[in-house]
Amino acid sequence: MKISVIGANGQLGTDVCRAFRDNGDDVIGLNHEHIEISDHNDTRSTLGDIDPDFVVNTAAMHNVEECEKDPEKSFAVNGIGARNLALASQEIGFTLMHISTDYVFDGVKQSPYLESDCPRPLNVYGNTKIAGEFFVETIAEQYFILRVSAIYGESLCRAKGGLNFVTLMLKLASERDEIRVVNDEFVSPTYTRDIAKQIVHMAGSSHYGLYHGTSQGSCSWYDFAAKIFELTGSTVKLTVADPGEFPAKVPRPTYSVLENKGLQEAKLDIMPPWEKGLKSYLKTLREK
């Protein structure tokens, strides 16, 4: 298949390109300088020239603080950008895989969110991502929406810069005697290579629709840090941060666990437990 990956040099996009190439597909990676998804004409003409069979959109404005400061730009990229891709999918005739987020939920449920749960975003980022989902659902015919959560990979997250949670913990452990981490926020940490393999697996099916695609199981950020230190043999002292010790500038869900119910029902779920994803990632880091 001819595959285009938008956001090809991003944290997830890099692994998606690699996974499709490993699968023997013809991959055309598009970085921001190649395509502006908030511009309909640019999106239409760039993808029209390529004429792909399958497009993966990993591009987003997803720095939560930046989105809050600039809701118009956030909507232009996350909402209108998704609409432009959905329109292009109809005009050009490709299947669209659009990446979304756990931040469409408010976290109040306190048990894993299913695709059938009603979204209630707490911030501009989540609101604009759910707008993007609705555009895709109402315009495209052959589409997948894949909600991912708490992702980490070898490539840097371009929107957030710096380190991911794992590399941040490893850096702090090499600099400090004690690290304090919150124990009252829950996620399913997910390795981008596992998501990329899941996307390739889904591309071979025609079970279109909305899916959750995170690692199996969940943990608090404290548990995640503890597992990182256990697996790397670190002896740094890890303690539980007090509630409010790291105040967030923008409201976020404190419970962000997704269940891959749709993928399981379609017999498409190949996501590993989060501990296994972390082990693979640490192995890749060591080999580098």
Ligand X SMILES: NC(=O)c1ccc[n+]([C@@H]2O[C@H](COP(=O)([O-])OP(=O)(O)OC[C@H]3O[C@@H](n4cnc5c(N)ncnc54)[C@H](OP(=O)(O)O)[C@@H]3O)[C@@H](O)[C@H]2O)c1
Catalytic sites, residue numbers = 125
| Least distance between ligand X and beta carbon 168 (Å) | 13
| Least distance between ligand X and beta carbon 48 (Å) | 16
Q: Indicate whether 272 belongs to the interface with ligand X (CB under 6 A).
A: no
Task: State how far the Cα of 281 lies from the Cα of 265, in Å rounded to an integer.
Answer: 28
Q: Indicate whether 148 belongs to the interface with ligand X (CB under 6 A).
A: yes
Q: Indicate whether 261 belongs to the interface with ligand X (CB under 6 A).
A: no
Q: Indicate whether 19 belongs to the interface with ligand X (CB under 6 A).
A: no
Nearer to ligand X, 151 or 257 (CB): 151
Long-range contacts of 135-139 (CB under 8 A, 24+ apart): 135/79, 135/80, 135/82, 135/83, 135/86, 136/82, 136/83, 136/85, 136/86, 136/96, 136/98, 137/210, 138/86, 139/83, 139/86, 139/87, 139/89, 139/90
Task: By CB under 6 A, name the one of 32, 40, 180, 276 that touches ligand X.
Answer: 32
The residue whose two tokens read 């908030």 is 38
Q: Indicate whether 196 belongs to the interface with ligand X (CB under 6 A).
A: no
Query: Using CB atoms, what's the residue nearest to ligand X?
Result: 10
Q: Indicate whether 158 belongs to the interface with ligand X (CB under 6 A).
A: yes
| Least distance between ligand X and beta carbon 73 (Å) | 9
Fill in the per-residue mask, 106 to 135: x = in contact with ligand X (CB under 6 A), - = not in contact.
Answer: ------------------------------
Nearer to ligand X, 128 or 236 (CB): 128
Q: Which two tokens stand for residue 266?
A: 């379609």
Residue pair 240/183 in contact by the 8 Å Cβ criterion: yes
Fill in the per-residue mask, 82 to 111: x = in contact with ligand X (CB under 6 A), - = not in contact.
Answer: -----------------x-xx---------
- Which residues in the 36-55 window bind ligand X by CB under 6 A? 36-38
| Least distance between ligand X and beta carbon 178 (Å) | 26
CA angle 89, 90, 94 (to 5 degrees): 40
Residue pair 67/81 in contact by the 8 Å Cβ criterion: no
Residue pair 20/200 in contact by the 8 Å Cβ criterion: yes
Nearer to ligand X, 69 or 176 (CB): 69
| Least distance between ligand X and beta carbon 163 (Å) | 12
Nearer to ligand X, 127 or 236 (CB): 127
Q: Indicate whether 271 belongs to the interface with ligand X (CB under 6 A).
A: no
Instruction: Tell me phi and psi for residue 163, to 5 degrees.
Output: -100, 155
Q: Indicate whether 7 belongs to the interface with ligand X (CB under 6 A).
A: yes
**Residue ranges in contact with ligand X by CB under 6 A:** 6-7, 9-13, 31-32, 35-38, 58-62, 77, 81, 99, 101-102, 148-151, 157-159
